[in-house]
Homo-oligomer: A and B are copies of this chain.
Amino acid sequence: MQRLDTPLTARVTLAANIKRLRHEQGISQEALADLAHLHRTYIGSIEREERNLSLDNVERIARALGVHIAVLLTEPRDDS
């Protein structure tokens, strides 16, 4: 658990997971946007961690990627 006064990190984890899953599934930002009923430029801004997006839209993206919403917010293991 993180301290209350450290910078928020969920956006960073979310962006990394969306990019990773999108690449694994071989789909473009535009294709993901279509699946999630969102705009391509909006997906781009999420992947750049610029958006404080809503919970509903996080859930829409999770469904479009075929994963549970909690997966998108969990830091991947470091397998390096």
Contact = CB atoms under 8 A, between A and B. Distances in A.
A10 to B, nearest CB: 4
B52 A8 contact: no
A21 interface: no
A52 to B, nearest CB: 5
The contact size tier of chain A is 20 to 34
A20 to B, nearest CB: 16
A60 B60 CA distance: 21
Contacts of A63: 1-4
Given A69-B73, A70-B73, A74-B70, A55 B1 contact: no
Interface of A: 1-4, 8-11, 14, 35, 52-56, 58-60, 63-64, 66-71, 73-74
